Amino acid sequence: MKFFRLSLGLVTLLAFGAVAASAQTRIVVNDSIDALMKQGVMPVTVVSDDATLGELTTFALGAHGAFSVRANSAVRVTIGRTGTTAVVACEHPSFAFQTTVEGRDQDDLALRVADAAVVGLGRAWKLKPLFAATKVAFVSKFTGNQEIYTTNLVHSKTARITNLRNTTHSPRWNQDGTRLTFITSAMTGFPELFSTNGIGNPRGVVTNVRGALGAASSGPDGRLAFASSNRGNMDIYVSSADGSGARVVVATPDVDADPSWSPDGSRLVLTSGPTGRPGIYVTSSAGGGLSRLSTGYGYSAEPRWNPVEPSLIAFTFQSGGLHLAVADLQSGAVTAVPSTSALSLSHSSWCADGRHVVATQSLNAQSWIAIVDTVTGKATRLSDSKLGECSQPDCYVRRN
């Protein structure tokens, strides 16, 4: 298998070329900070002695949703870089902070600088680190075939992980972020689950469960949950981390799919129901009865359990188009992610702060991946048109 990385210069161009025009129109003179703060938005100016680090931090803060990058805000974030160390600071009396961060390389440093700015400025809102602890896998048609790629939340480092020259899809990180599982028919002509670390040939994971397959979601202990039509209908299976011992835990007369683990591994949330009218259900990961989650929508699918906020589940619903919503299991509330455009959003995956997701955004026949703030609805494109159609993102969230 071949493995390559896009150069920093190219990826920086991809990341910022798509937003350059809109970024120019967003830069305005300083408004009343207090008035904007009441709206949940902080105007920020980024000043850096390193152009690339400044650009990546600007992109990150602009994508967050809680910040608005401006030309002359009184809230100024300054960045001073020495090698792979940077000092991030703000002198505004209401938001003053100073943090020294170290990174493994320039890309890691940029992610940590962005997190330092988010946490330092957002103390009143208790904002959490987002960028350094999240990495993203997705599907791209850059080569003409669907292959698996990875990137970060400022899109400064992108790597192609598979080169199977076949339809390869449904990437999912394993529990420690060292490998990706995916589905392909490239090896045997049948769709099967494989895993890879991006080096060498992929290895088979579940090769004895045939039929249509759905993505293999990895639980906190490494067990895999996936859908298969091995017995006729699409049912939910759970296996060990190496794919052995696969057994059915959910089997209904309808289509069962999209399993996602609770953070403690005791439960699964999944899609179940007739084609065209699916709903969201919760069950024990050991199997048993299904409990329907009342979403208020006739079409609800693709649930993803929040890995850091155990009561929250994101899902896709259909109402004139595809949109995202968040269900709170504790309060019973279901909140649609605010729509900021007519573009469709689907197939979401939670980021490290438990507030943002990466999702597939689409218009007509075109699709790309975007980071979405579930609070404000701010959606920022992560993949450029040069990568072709991009979809099916999955986030790995590092845990302390």
Helix, strand or coil, per DSSP, at residue 132:
coil
Write b or e for each residue in 98-129: b if 16 or more Cβ atoms lie within 10 A of its Cβ, otherwise e: ebebebeebbbbbbbbbbbbbbbbbeeeebbb
Both 119 and 168 in one domain: the answer is: no
- For the chain, the domain total comes to 2
Q: Token digits for 192?
A: 């099967």
Both 70 and 165 in one domain: the answer is: no
Which of these three, 125, 155, 173, is where a domain ends?
125
Do 213 and 257 touch, CB atoms closer than 8 A?
A: no
Which of these three, 105, 125, 145, is where a domain ends?
125
Both 97 and 119 in one domain: the answer is: yes
Both 108 and 194 in one domain: the answer is: no
Both 277 and 141 in one domain: the answer is: yes
Which mean pLDDT values do the consecutive 10-residue runs of the chain (400 residues) have? Answer: 34 36 37 72 96 96 96 95 97 96 96 98 96 97 94 94 92 96 89 91 83 92 95 93 93 96 97 92 95 96 96 96 97 95 95 98 94 97 92 89
What pLDDT digit, counting tens, does each position of 340-374 carry? 888 999 999 999 999 999 999 999 889 999 999 99
Both 242 and 170 in one domain: the answer is: yes
Do 350 and 307 touch, CB atoms closer than 8 A?
A: yes
Q: Distance between CA 172 and CA 132 in Å, rounded?
A: 19
Both 324 and 353 in one domain: the answer is: yes
Helix, strand or coil, per DSSP, at residue 9:
helix
Both 170 and 26 in one domain: the answer is: no
Both 266 and 291 in one domain: the answer is: yes
Both 302 and 347 in one domain: the answer is: yes
Q: Distance between CA 156 and CA 8 in Å, rounded?
A: 6
Strand partners, 230: none
Helix, strand or coil, per DSSP, at residue 109:
helix
Both 115 and 153 in one domain: the answer is: no
Quickly tell me which residue has 């992560």 as its tokens.
382
Task: Say which CATH number the domain at 173 has.
Answer: 2.120.10.30
Find the domain containing 354 and state its range.
134-397
Both 16 and 155 in one domain: the answer is: no
Which of these three, 98, 125, 152, is where a domain ends?
125
Sign of CA dihedral 61, 67, 71, 73: negative
Kindly report the pTM of this predicted structure: 0.90
What pLDDT digit, counting tens, does each position of 39-94 carry? 789 999 999 999 999 999 999 999 999 999 999 999 999 999 999 999 999 999 99
